[in-house]
């Protein structure tokens, strides 16, 4: 197909499509022109250049940056290994066979290691959680919340599909109340109410309270995702397992859950993307994650009024992570459907 026929087919096939093309083209051109002129002449990008380390790791001590790099390397290699296993290429068949059974264990074990590298202790210089800011804190909060909300969500989903009325109603009540209230309300609840509900001498720091809020919130949505997976397991599976003489506990653990969870992996990735974006609300309850640190940078006298530059840069970081994750999730979905 030559360029001309492509143009005629895709842009100018009818008179109204031609008109639409011209209007869109003019608007797009003016918008792009305005954006380029602004970005090259009026914008002052120094706010991004000077504060780059602040955006990424916040006030994490400079001498300890290598620890962040190691964590990054661990996370990337784990992600790469997982991707290889899931894509199941013939070339790596031997490798996959070797690694696959250990994959979940490696992930679970990597968590305390990462926590140790960031937080310190046991021979490393301790770094207080007040100093983990910026993108580092955003990623940390999203990851830990999704991991912690997973078991609670599975239990709630099982509770909601249970035949026992008391357990079912408890689960429904919890899930529906949490889903009916905005996240900022739950974060407020966790920051203000949690200290009131716990014994007086029991104090949680701000980061832990925020994690509690995110987990309470995320578990309810996780439960609904997992419930979708539970419904996709056919009744025949349960009946066959019962006929083999397994009791309810083992039927759920060995037959239902593995199939259900496999079906909801894309939904869980979607929820992780949502949670990653939602961590921005933590800036409203006093945490200095990516959005929070951009607000405190903008409060410095030398950068006052540089809103557009800062928010565009921070938005780009969020966008990159979310877009890559959604691409990965789409690939995964295709893979699982095959």
Partner 1 sequence: MTNDKPPLWRDSRFWNIAGQLTALFLAALVVTVLVSNLNRNLQQLGIQFGFDFLKQQASFDIGETLIAYKPTDTYSLALLVGLINALRVAITGIILTTIVGVLAGVARLSDNWLVRNISLVYVEIFRNTPLLLQLLFWYFAVFLGFPKADNKISLWGLIGLSQNGIELPWFTLSPEFSALLLGLTFYTGAFIAEIVRGGIGSVSKGQWEAARSLGLKPGLIMRLVIFPQALRVIIPPLTSQYLNLTKNSSLAIAIGYPDIYFVASTTFNQTGRAVEVMLLLMLTYLALSLTISLIMNAFNRTVQIKER
Among 29, 102, 111, 307, which residue interacts with partner 1 (rule: CB under 8 A)?
307
User: Would you count residue 165 as binding partner 1 (CB under 8 A)?
Assistant: yes
Q: Which residue, 20 or 93, has its beta carbon nearer to partner 1?
A: 20
Q: Which residue, 129 or 280, has its beta carbon nearer to partner 1?
A: 280
User: Would you count residue 24 as binding partner 1 (CB under 8 A)?
Assistant: yes
* DSSP of 28-70: HHHHHHHHHHIIIII--THHHHHHHHHHHHTT--GGGHHHHHH
Determine the Cα–Cα distance for residues 269 and 330; give it in Å rounded to an integer: 10
User: Would you count residue 323 as binding partner 1 (CB under 8 A)?
Assistant: yes
Determine the Cα–Cα distance for residues 161 and 224; give it in Å rounded to an integer: 11
Site for partner 1 in 175-204 (CB under 8 A): 177, 179-185, 188-189, 192-193, 195-200
User: Would you count residue 113 as binding partner 1 (CB under 8 A)?
Assistant: no
314 burial (CB, 10 Å; 0-12 / 13-18 / 19+) is buried
Q: Which residue, 103 or 312, has its beta carbon nearer to partner 1?
A: 312
Give least dist CB 291 to partner 1, A.
6
Determine the Cα–Cα distance for residues 286 and 56; give it in Å rounded to an integer: 18
User: Would you count residue 43 as binding partner 1 (CB under 8 A)?
Assistant: no
User: Would you count residue 254 as binding partner 1 (CB under 8 A)?
Assistant: no
Alpha-helix runs per DSSP H in the chain = 3-10, 15-37, 46-57, 65-87, 93-99, 103-119, 134-160, 165-180, 183-188, 194-197, 206-232, 235-243, 248-250, 257-278, 290-298, 307-337
List 135's β-bridge partners, or say none. none
Q: Which residue, 87 or 198, has its beta carbon nearer to partner 1?
A: 198
Stretch that binds partner 1, among 63-71, 79-87, 253-261, 312-320 (CB under 8 A): 312-320
User: Would you count residue 245 as binding partner 1 (CB under 8 A)?
Assistant: no
Q: Which residue, 63 or 247, has its beta carbon nearer to partner 1?
A: 247
Cβ contact 217:199 at 8 Å: no
List 124's β-bridge partners, or say none. 121
Nearest to 135 by CA among 72, 218, 64, 210: 72
- Contacts of range 253-262, beta carbons closer than 8 Å, 24 or more positions apart: 256/230, 257/154, 259/229, 259/232, 259/233, 260/226, 260/229, 260/230, 260/232, 260/233, 261/154, 261/226, 261/229, 262/229, 262/336
User: Would you count residue 51 as binding partner 1 (CB under 8 A)?
Assistant: no
Among 8, 13, 128, 205, which residue interacts with partner 1 (rule: CB under 8 A)?
13
Give least dist CB 193 to partner 1, A.
6
User: Would you count residue 296 as binding partner 1 (CB under 8 A)?
Assistant: no
User: Would you count residue 26 as binding partner 1 (CB under 8 A)?
Assistant: no
- The upper half-sphere exposure of residue 144, i.e. CA atoms within 13 Å in the direction of its Cβ, equals 19
Among 17, 33, 44, 128, which residue interacts with partner 1 (rule: CB under 8 A)?
17
Number of residues that bind partner 1 (CB under 8 A): 54
Among 110, 129, 237, 326, which residue interacts with partner 1 (rule: CB under 8 A)?
326
Among 283, 287, 297, 303, which residue interacts with partner 1 (rule: CB under 8 A)?
283
Q: Which residue, 26 or 80, has its beta carbon nearer to partner 1?
A: 26
Determine the Cα–Cα distance for residues 120 and 129; give it in Å rounded to an integer: 10
Residues in contact with partner 1 by the rule CB under 8 A: 10-11, 13, 17, 20-21, 24-25, 28, 163-167, 170, 177, 179-185, 188-189, 192-193, 195-200, 273, 277-278, 280-281, 283-284, 291, 295, 298, 307-308, 311-312, 314-315, 318-319, 322-323, 326
């Amino acid at each position: 197909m030559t360029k001309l026929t492509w143009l005629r087919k895709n842009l100018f096939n009818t008179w109204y499509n031609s008109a639409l093309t011209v209007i869109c083209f003019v608007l797009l051109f003016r918008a792009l022109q305005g954006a380029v002129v602004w970005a090259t002449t009026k914008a002052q990008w120094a706010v991004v250049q000077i504060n780059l380390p602040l955006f990424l790791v916040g006030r994490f001590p400079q001498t300890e940056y290598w620890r962040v790099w190691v964590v990054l390397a661990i996370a990337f290699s784990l992600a790469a290994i997982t991707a290889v296993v899931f894509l199941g290429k013939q070339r790596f068949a031997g490798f996959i066979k070797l690694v696959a059974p250990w994959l979940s264990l490696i992930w679970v074990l990597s968590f305390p290691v990462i926590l140790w590298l960031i937080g310190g202790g046991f021979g490393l210089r301790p770094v207080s959680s007040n100093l983990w800011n910026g993108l580092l804190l955003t990623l940390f909060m999203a990851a830990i919340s999704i991991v912690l909300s997973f078991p609670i969500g599975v239990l709630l989903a099982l509770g909601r599909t249970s035949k026992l009325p008391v357990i079912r109603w408890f689960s429904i009540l919890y899930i529906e109340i949490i889903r009916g209230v905005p996240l900022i309300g739950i974060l407020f609840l966790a920051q203000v109410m949690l200290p009131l509900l716990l014994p007086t001498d029991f104090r949680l720091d701000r980061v832990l309270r925020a994690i509690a809020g995110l987990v309470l919130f995320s578990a309810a949505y996780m439960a609904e995702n997992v419930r979708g997976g539970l419904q996709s397991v056919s009744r025949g599976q349960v009946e066959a397992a019962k006929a083999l003489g397994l009791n309810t506990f083992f039927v759920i653990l060995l037959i239902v859950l593995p199939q259900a969870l496999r079906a909801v992996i894309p939904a869980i990735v979607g929820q992780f993307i949502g949670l990653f974006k939602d961590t921005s609300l933590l800036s409203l309850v006093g945490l200095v994650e990516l959005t929070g640190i951009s607000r405190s940078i903008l409060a410095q006298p030398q950068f006052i009024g540089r809103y557009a530059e800062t928010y565009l840069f921070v938005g780009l970081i969020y966008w990159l992570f979310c877009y890559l994750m959604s691409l990965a999730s789409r690939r995964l979905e295709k893979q699982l459907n095959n």
